[in-house]
């Protein structure tokens, strides 16, 4: 199985260089938000058939919201959401455009092999 993670600041259209794993691996779960300076993020996981760097088809997309206090190294990761309407609501138009462009240029054959339901997730509304 092929997979790729994109971490966006909540409203940014370009992902961070760091993945969810890199940002949240060494953080503690926040027990209380009092006194924290939390930044909002959106984590997008794309899965597909294939291995390593080149997928043969994109099959699934999951998103989750996250918050992180960089100075105190604590945050919250919400559960993954995989329903189409949830994904479409959480992604901004700019994020959809970035993901559509990245997925179609990274592995054009995988983009073409993906079903319409998957590609529709990244259409501007």
Average pLDDT estimate for 85-104 = 95
Query: Rounded to two decimals, what is the model's pTM?
Result: 0.90
Considering its fold, how many domains does the chain have in total?
Answer: 1
Q: How far apart are CA 38 and CA 104, in angstroms?
A: 33
The closest of 67, 125, 50, 69 to 95, measured between CA atoms, is 125
Instruction: Identify whether 42 is part of a domain.
Output: yes
| Predicted confidence (pLDDT) at residue 35 exceeds the cutoff of 90 | no
Average pLDDT estimate for 3-22 = 94
5-19, 49-63, 68-82: which range is least confident on average?
68-82
Instruction: Identify whether 123 is part of a domain.
Output: no
What pLDDT score was predicted for residue 71? 82
Domain that holds residue 71: 2-118
Instruction: Identify whether 124 is part of a domain.
Output: no
What pLDDT score was predicted for residue 76? 85
Instruction: Identify whether 90 is part of a domain.
Output: yes
The closest of 3, 1, 6, 2 to 99, measured between CA atoms, is 6
Instruction: Identify whether 67 is part of a domain.
Output: yes
């Amino acid at each position: 199985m092929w997979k790729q993670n994109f971490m966006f600041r909540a409203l940014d259209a370009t992902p961070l260089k760091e993945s969810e794993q890199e940002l949240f691996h060494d953080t503690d779960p926040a027990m209380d938000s009092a006194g924290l300076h939390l930044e909002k993020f959106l984590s997008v996981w794309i899965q597909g058939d294939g291995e390593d760097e080149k997928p043969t088809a994109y099959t699934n997309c999951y998103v989750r919201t996250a918050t992180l206090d960089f100075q105190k190294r604590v945050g919250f990761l919400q559960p993954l959401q995989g329903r189409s309407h949830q994904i479409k609501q959480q992604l901004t138009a700019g994020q959809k455009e970035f993901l559509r462009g990245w997925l179609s240029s990274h592995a054009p054959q995988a983009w073409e092999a993906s079903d319409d339901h998957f590609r529709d997730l990244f259409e501007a509304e």
